[in-house]
Structure formats: structure tokens, C-alpha cells
Amino acid sequence: MIVWRNEVGRGFDITGCLVRVERTVAAPRAFRRGLQAVPEAVREGRLIVEAQALQWGLARETVGAAVQVASELLTNAVHATPYRGITLRMGLADDGLCVEVWDSSPVWPRPSTPDMSVPRGPVADDAPDPGGWGLGIVDALSEKRGCGTSSKESASGPSSRRSFGNQPLGVPWGRPRKVCDVEDWFTREITDAGRLRLFCFLVAFIAGFLFIRVSVRMIRAQVRWWPGNVTPGGQHIHHVVFGLVFMCVGGVGGLAVEDGSSGWAAATAAVFGVGAALVLDEFALVLHLEDVYWSQQGRLSVEVVFITIALCGLMLLGLRPLGVDDAAGDGFWALVLVLLFDMCVAVVALAKGKVWTGLIGVFIGIVAIVGAVRLARPGSPWARRRYSPGSRKARRAEVRERRYRQPLQRLGDRLSDLVAGRPSAK
């Protein structure tokens, strides 16, 4: 049995093993299942490994060893990355049965010595497990243990083992060379992590926004061969109407799809993303109930679209709002306190007129803290209520606005004009 962990892409780790079996398999076989890193995943993974190994016709002794090893590897992944996506893989070929558990922890497993001392008094039923047995059990059930990486890891076990066999095996827990494979990254980070719908939504959202902006700019330039506005009976129908229809179809259709990794789930998420792009592209029109698309007020729509893309991108990277992941294993009250604190600093940052800082701070707490402790922007709700006109804080806020904020605003306006078109002069 071979055990290794490897960083791939965004710190995605592998823990795996190779159990030697009799050379009776005519062709390689592979199996993969995505799980969530919760305690129940260990029992589910044991049942999966046992059922799959028996289906492949392996001996009972080999099945038992594979189940025990998978149990230890899954337990390690659950402790290392609670509530995140993990992947259980099995591969069978002439050289053995490969069991792998993939998780996203940047910390590699370290062998430890279990506490063998005899307790001097009675041990409580709820006393914590001292641990330290996992890798020892894996070693006992393994032929050998080493360190390596896969240059072409896929759903099939054999290709990973052949690539692994090309790596040095004599140094335990050494750092292998880094590998980044797009297909492998997509499988682990998107599909197996349960983010397929979010990925399809974001891609469709960006594509829908770019398409509609190209379309309206072509109409504005009066390009003859480009279809014009939709005006049945002389009534101009804004694309926000089509966006609402797409959102209803994609949203309701997505609720009806149970399998989040199916093609239908991806399709409904994409339809919803296109609809959201069409709606938010005319956010300023909906807000003002007036056609301000090509006015200075219309820049708000582009800013809202950029914010949406940024927040979806953070969620796609695995970040969760209000520090939920960081406090998930610390108990109920610790989770409540973290949520309240992160929410408060984010609201303060927003009240100080720092929209980007407050919204990004919902996912990255330190950003919200910085925005909350620094001066408010002039004209923000916080400044109007707490900074007296002509006061020292009000003057400092105005100086910072001219020195830092306005240059960044001009840069953002130029980027907005490049992507969405320049507003009309009038």
C-alpha cells in the first residue's frame, strides 16, 4: 500500500493507498464518489469501498484491509477539512487495489505516536480519543509507504499509479513536485465539491453580460446587419424583461432537479445566470424606474455586475460568508459569536460607504475589519451622522477621498467604459 499527499492547483491534497491483491484481474477498473467531509462520510465511505471491492470479486481479507484503510484516510480528511468536499477513489489493476481520498487541506498528514500509557484513574465515557493510530494502521496493512505525485491524475487509478511509480519512494512525507491539470482541477474543485451549478451560473452570467453589452453597443452604433431593439407594435421591450423570464425558468427548473452534478442542473443554473445578467445589466433602470442606461447613473448597473462576479468567484474558490468554515467545528455559541462579529464589521464598512470592502469582507473578515476601523467616506450614512461639518474627521475624510478614492474611481470608470461602453455626454 502506498500513501501520499500532494498539492495540486489551489492546495488540493491527495491521500491514497495501494493494497496488493492477487494478479487475477484481466482489465483495470476505476470508481469515484464525491462526499462531504462530515463524520457520517466515514461510515458511508466504508460501505462504498466494501460494496465495490466485493463487486470486483476480491478476497474477503483484501476487502477488509481496503475498508479499514479507507476509514482511516476518510477520518483524516474529515478532521482536516470539515464540511468541505472530498473525493473517494478506487482503482484496480494487475499491480493492486488503489484507494485514494482527496481533500483540500494544505497541511500534510504526519505520523504520530499513540499514547500507550495506562490511565491512573477511571476514564470518562466522553473523554477525547488521544489519536495517533491512523497511519500506524495504514502501515500495518501496507506493503510500503512513500511519497510521490501524479502527472496525469484522472478518474482511473492505473494512470495515477504509473505516474506515481516514476517518483522516488524512499523518503516518507517528502514534498513532490507541483502539478496543475485543468481537467483534474475541474473534477475535484468543481464537480466533486458540489460547485458545478455555481460554476455554470458564473460562466453563463459573464457570457450573458458580455453578449448583451456587445448587442446594445452595436445597436447604439446603428450597425445595419445587427438585429435592433425588440419593439413589437412600437413598444420597446427592455432586456430586463427577458432576464426575468430566464430567471424564472432556470430557478424553478433548478428546484426540480435533485442531482446537483447532472447535466440538467448545470443547464438550469446556466439559464438562471443568463437571466441574472440581463436583469442586473439594467439594475439602474429598475432602481430609478427610468431609462438611464447610457447616462452616468447607468454606471451603477456595471458596478453591480462586477460585484456579483467578484462574490460568485469567491464562493467558487471555496470561501463561505461570515467565517462559517472557520468556526464550524468550535461549537454552536462560537459559531454564533463569529457570525455576529463578522456581520457587524461588514455592516459598519458598508455604512461608511465602502461597498466593495464591506461585501468582500463578508467572505474575508480582515477586509471588513479594516474597512470598519478606517474613516468613512464623505457623504456616507456614517459620515453624515457622526462627522460634524468642518470637523477634523470630516476634513481628513475629504482629503483621503481626493487622494485615494477618486483616482481609483476614475480607473474603475475607464474599465467600465471599456467593457460596457461610455455613457452619453448629456
Domain range list for the chain: 13-116+127-191, 195-314
- For 296, other C-beta atoms within 10 Å of its C-beta total 12
pLDDT number for residue 336: 79
Mean pLDDT on 157-162: 30
Q: Rounded CA gap, 192 and 357, in Å?
A: 31
Phi/psi-derived region of residue 282, left when phi > 0, alpha when psi is between -120 and 50, beta in every other case: alpha
Say whether pLDDT at 261 is over 90.
no
Where does the pLDDT of residue 326 fall: very low under 50, low under 70, confident under 90, or very high at 90 and above?
Answer: low
pTM value?
A: 0.59
Q: Which CATH number fits domain 13-116+127-191: 3.30.565.10, 1.10.3720.10, 3.40.718.10, 3.40.50.2300?
A: 3.30.565.10
Say whether pLDDT at 227 is over 90.
no
pLDDT number for residue 305: 94
pLDDT number for residue 252: 94
**Is 401 or 426 the better-scoring residue by pLDDT?**
401
Q: Rounded CA gap, 369 and 335, in Å?
A: 18
**Is 314 or 59 the better-scoring residue by pLDDT?**
314
Stretch among 81-85, 219-223, 287-291 having the lowest mean pLDDT:
81-85
**Whether 353 contacts 379, CB under 8 Å:** yes
289-318 residue pLDDT tens = 888 888 888 888 999 999 999 999 988 887
C-alpha cell at 122: 477511571
pLDDT number for residue 419: 84
Say whether pLDDT at 24 is over 60.
no
Stretch among 100-104, 132-136, 147-151 having the lowest mean pLDDT:
147-151
Residue 131, classified by CB atoms within 10 Å of its CB into exposed (0-12), middle (13-18) or buried (19+), is exposed
pLDDT number for residue 274: 96
Say whether pLDDT at 26 is over 60.
no
Q: Of 303, 313, 301, give the one whose Cα is nearest residue 203.
A: 313
Mean pLDDT on 404-424: 86
**Is 171 or 330 the better-scoring residue by pLDDT?**
330
**Whether 358 contacts 371, CB under 8 Å:** yes
pLDDT above 90: percentage of residues in the chain:
19
**Is 283 or 138 the better-scoring residue by pLDDT?**
283
pLDDT number for residue 204: 96
pLDDT number for residue 214: 92
Where does the pLDDT of residue 186 fall: very low under 50, low under 70, confident under 90, or very high at 90 and above?
Answer: confident
Where does the pLDDT of residue 329 fall: very low under 50, low under 70, confident under 90, or very high at 90 and above?
Answer: low
pLDDT number for residue 109: 61
Mean pLDDT on 6-27: 43
CA distances 50 to 2, 45, 64, 297, Å, are 19, 8, 8, 62
**Is 72 or 284 the better-scoring residue by pLDDT?**
284
Mean pLDDT on 236-262: 91
Stretch among 73-77, 238-242, 343-347 having the lowest mean pLDDT:
73-77
Residue 238, classified by CB atoms within 10 Å of its CB into exposed (0-12), middle (13-18) or buried (19+), is middle
Q: State the average pLDDT for the chain.
A: 76
Where does the pLDDT of residue 174 fall: very low under 50, low under 70, confident under 90, or very high at 90 and above?
Answer: very low
Mean pLDDT on 74-102: 79
Highest mean pLDDT among 141-150, 158-167, 383-392: 383-392
pLDDT number for residue 245: 96
354-383 residue pLDDT tens = 888 888 888 888 888 888 888 888 888 998
pLDDT above 70: percentage of residues in the chain:
72
Stretch among 23-32, 53-62, 257-266, 312-321 having the lowest mean pLDDT:
23-32
pLDDT number for residue 213: 93
Q: What angle do CA 3, 67, 179 make, to 5 degrees?
A: 30
Mean pLDDT on 272-294: 92
pLDDT number for residue 39: 85
**Is 120 or 360 the better-scoring residue by pLDDT?**
360
